[in-house]
Homo-oligomer: A and B are copies of this chain.
Amino acid sequence: MTLVETTSREDLYPSRTPHLVPGWLRRQEPTVYPSDFEGPLSDGQLAFYDIHGFLCLEDWLDDASTEELKRESDRLGSSAQIDGERVVGEPDRNVIRSIFEPHATNQIINKLTKRPELAGAARQILGDEVYIHQSRLNFKPGFEGKAFDWHSDFETWHVEDGMPRMRALSCVVLIHENFIHNGPLMIVPGSHRVYLQCGGQTPENHYRQSLQKQQYGVPDRTQLKELMSQHGIHTMLGKPGTVILFDCNAMHGSAGNISPFPRNNLFVVFNAASNALVAPYCGLKPRPEHIASRSFQTL
Contacts and interface: CB of A to CB of B under 8 A. Distances in A.
Interface in A241-287: 253-261
B233 A179 contact: yes
A228 B261 CA distance: 9
A208 interface: no
A271 to B, nearest CB: 27
B259 A228 contact: yes
A183 interface: yes
A255 B258 CA distance: 6
Contact of A228 (B147, B257, B260): B260
A150 interface: yes
B225 A255 contact: no
A188 to B, nearest CB: 10
A221 B179 CA distance: 19
A46 interface: no
A143 interface: yes
Size category of the A interface is: 20 to 34
Nearest to A228: B260
Given A143-B221, A256-B147, A258-B255, A180 B229 contact: no
Nearest to A143: B221
Nearest to A144: B221
A81 interface: no
A149 interface: yes
Nearest to A222: B260
A195 to B, nearest CB: 19
Interface string A143-178: 100010110000000000000000000000000000
Interface in A210-250: 221, 224-225, 228-229, 233, 235
B253 A255 contact: no
A189 to B, nearest CB: 13
Nearest to A147: B258
A253 B259 CA distance: 9
Interface of A: 142-143, 147, 149-150, 179-181, 183, 186, 221, 224-225, 228-229, 233, 235, 253-261
14 contacts: A142-B221, A142-B225, A180-B180, A181-B186, A181-B255, A183-B255, A224-B260, A225-B260, A228-B260, A229-B260, A233-B259, A255-B255, A255-B256, A255-B257
| 5 closest Cβ pairs, A-B complex | A225-B260, A181-B233, A255-B255, A180-B235, A256-B256
